[in-house]
């Protein structure tokens, strides 16, 4: 049987006077010092910029220092809450400074979290002043009245002992509640102003989902490259060997009975057809030339194998990431496949160019038009593939033609 221990009044008193109470008291006292330094610095820099605005130089120095000091004081306050109250206030994510600190300062000045943190540092002195007055007043009042009651007991003045003793007990019992209450109110203000807002939390979730999606896309592309290598180095080589052996048998074994020769001929043709289909499959997954020589060479091969004349222009002075190149190759390959199957076109033009951090692709054909992503012509999958890397897809295909597909892919 598990023994049941009932809570006694003494247990509740000891819990009332636990270490957490004293940590809350220290939290309030240290908070007043930190708040005073933060508010003095922020207000001082702001007044300096306003009063000496005519100098131009002083505001240009004071305002960046003010903006830069806000996250510093915020880190100090977060460390105080973590050390004394065991509360971890979530940090608002910010982009790294990079090579241009001025850009970072301007971004911080435009961010709503910076202004919420600034508001906390301006309100913190008021919260800390009320807390310091209340906590120090209760504790010191309790000790002073307890001393007076002790003095009355020494002098034999019962009325003094009863009066000041009651006040001392009341103050010393209320003291922990006051300390915890003020510290709790400070914590609520800090969570609301120093922590991330709802929009910040949504931005964090969106960024997390974007990174997760990018990891999935990269993993899928890496898996396609692995499958391509395995097929190229394994199954494709075996089919090549099989086709060669059957070809040699077909050429050398001329004295076999006719049924046997026909079987060898059929097997040889089937092996060559299977090898061709496997090569097409490997090229569709992720052609090796794309990794080795880039988009220009890979797309040139696709254009050369197309059943219609294709004019290709590639202007990519700097290569994109392997994932973006794979998506661009898929777009062009799938677009040419759709043109060959459905467009009844006599020619097509492909333009690929990179400008800054964007890769632009344009596929144009003179076919009958009427391309509709909902008709199951492969355009829906093409749009999904483009969207997986935050790209954009635009299709202009009126009935009667022509059809133009424009794709824009990020190259960050």
In a domain, 1, yes or no: no
Tokens 């090569």 locate to 279
In a domain, 392, yes or no: yes
Shared-domain flag, residues 130 and 110:
yes
C-alpha closest to that of 93 among 201, 253, 193, 221: 201
Give the whole-angstrom CA distance, residue 11 versus residue 124: 35
Position 6 confidence tier, pLDDT thresholds 50, 70, 90 = very low
The CATH number assigned to the domain holding 373 equals: 3.30.565.10
Query: Where do the H-state alpha helices sit in 255-314?
Result: 258-285, 288-293, 295-305
Evaluate if residue 10 carries a pLDDT over 50: no
Position 224 confidence tier, pLDDT thresholds 50, 70, 90 = low
Evaluate if residue 377 carries a pLDDT over 60: no
Range of the domain at 391: 291-410
Shared-domain flag, residues 235 and 173:
no
Shared-domain flag, residues 337 and 279:
no
Report the relative pairing of strands 358-365 and 392-396 from DSSP bridges.
Answer: unpaired
Evaluate if residue 402 carries a pLDDT over 50: yes
pLDDT digits (tens, 9 = 90+) for 235-285: 666 766 666 776 777 677 667 677 776 777 777 777 777 767 666 666 555
Other CB atoms within a 10 A radius of the CB of residue 69 amount to 16
In a domain, 265, yes or no: yes
- Into how many domains does the chain fold? 3
Shared-domain flag, residues 233 and 339:
no
Give the pLDDT score at 11: 45
Give the pLDDT score at 2: 38
Asked whether the beta carbons of 379 and 372 are under 8 A apart, the reply is yes
In a domain, 210, yes or no: no
Give the pLDDT score at 94: 58
Last residue of a domain, one of 244, 262, 285: 285
Shared-domain flag, residues 244 and 271:
yes
pLDDT digits (tens, 9 = 90+) for 286-334: 666 777 788 888 888 888 888 888 888 988 888 888 888 888 888 888 8
Shared-domain flag, residues 273 and 315:
no
Evaluate if residue 15 carries a pLDDT over 60: no
Residue 185 Cα to chain centre, angstroms: 32
Taking each helix axis from N to C end, the angle separating 198-230 and 322-338, rounded to the nearest 10 degrees, works out to 70
Give the pLDDT score at 13: 46
Shared-domain flag, residues 125 and 25:
yes
In a domain, 209, yes or no: no
Tokens 């610095």 locate to 41
Shared-domain flag, residues 177 and 40:
yes
Shared-domain flag, residues 98 and 151:
yes
The token pair at 330 is: 């898929």
Q: Which of 30-44, 121-135, 205-219 has the lowest mean pLDDT?
A: 205-219
Give the pLDDT score at 338: 82
Average pLDDT, the chain: 77
In a domain, 3, yes or no: no
Shared-domain flag, residues 234 and 336:
no
Q: Which of 11-20, 177-186, 266-275 has the lowest mean pLDDT?
A: 11-20
Give the pLDDT score at 22: 79
In a domain, 215, yes or no: no
Report the relative pairing of strands 310-315 and 348-355 from DSSP bridges.
Answer: parallel
Shared-domain flag, residues 259 and 176:
no
In a domain, 147, yes or no: yes
Average pLDDT over residues 392-403: 85
Residue 359 Rama label (left phi>0; alpha psi -120 to 50; beta)? beta
Tokens 């003494």 locate to 10
Q: Which of 18-27, 56-65, 89-98, 240-249 has the lowest mean pLDDT?
A: 89-98
Q: Which residue has the higher pLDDT, 404 or 156?
A: 404
Question: Counting beta carbons within 10 angstroms of the beta carbon of residue 221, is it exposed (0 to 12), middle (13 to 18) or buried (19 or more)?
Answer: buried
Could you tell me what percent of the chain has a pLDDT over 90?
A: 0
């Amino acid at each position: 049987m598990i023994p049941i221990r009932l809570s006694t009044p003494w247990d509740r008193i000891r819990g009332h006077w636990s270490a957490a109470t004293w940590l809350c008291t220290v939290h309030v006292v240290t908070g007043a010092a930190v708040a005073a330094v933060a508010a003095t610095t922020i207000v001082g820099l702001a007044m300096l910029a306003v009063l000496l605005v005519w100098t131009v130089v002083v505001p240009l120095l004071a305002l960046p220092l003010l903006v830069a000091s806000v996250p510093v004081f915020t880190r100090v306050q977060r460390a105080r809450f973590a050390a004394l109250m065991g509360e971890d206030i979530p940090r608002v994510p910010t982009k790294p400074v990079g090579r241009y600190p001025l850009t970072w300062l301007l971004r911080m000045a435009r961010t709503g979290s910076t202004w919420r943190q600034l508001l906390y540092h301006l309100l913190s002195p008021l919260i800390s002043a009320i807390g310091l007055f209340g906590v120090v007043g209760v504790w010191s009042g309790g000790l002073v009245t307890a001393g007076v009651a002790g003095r009355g007991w020494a002098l034999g003045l019962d009325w003094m002992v009863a009066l000041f003793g009651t006040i001392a007990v009341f103050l010393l019992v209320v003291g922990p509640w006051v300390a915890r209450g003020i510290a709790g109110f400070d914590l609520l203000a800090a969570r609301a102003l120093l922590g991330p807002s709802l929009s910040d939390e949504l931005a964090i979730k969106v960024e997390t989902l974007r990174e997760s999606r990018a990891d999935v896309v990269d993993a899928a592309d890496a898996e396609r490259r692995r499958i391509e290598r395995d097929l190229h180095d394994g199954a494709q080589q075996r089919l090549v060997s099989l086709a060669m052996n059957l070809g040699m048998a077909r050429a050398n074994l001329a004295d076999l009975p006719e049924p046997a020769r026909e079987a060898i001929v059929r097997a040889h043709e089937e092996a060559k057809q299977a090898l061709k289909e496997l090569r097409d499959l490997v090229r569709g997954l992720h052609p090796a030339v794309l990794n080795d020589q880039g988009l220009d060479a890979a797309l040139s091969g696709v254009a050369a194998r197309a059943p219609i004349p294709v004019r290709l222009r590639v202007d990519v002075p700097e290569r994109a990431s392997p994932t973006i190149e794979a998506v661009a190759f898929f777009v062009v390959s799938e677009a040419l496949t759709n043109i060959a199957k459905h467009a009844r076109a006599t020619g097509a033009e492909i333009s690929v160019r990179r400008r800054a951090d964007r890769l632009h692709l344009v596929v144009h054909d003179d076919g009958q038009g009427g391309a509709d992503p909902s008709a199951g012509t492969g355009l829906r999958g093409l749009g999904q593939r483009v969207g997986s890397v935050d790209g954009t897809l635009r299709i202009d295909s009126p009935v009667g033609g022509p059809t133009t597909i424009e794709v824009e892919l990020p190259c960050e």
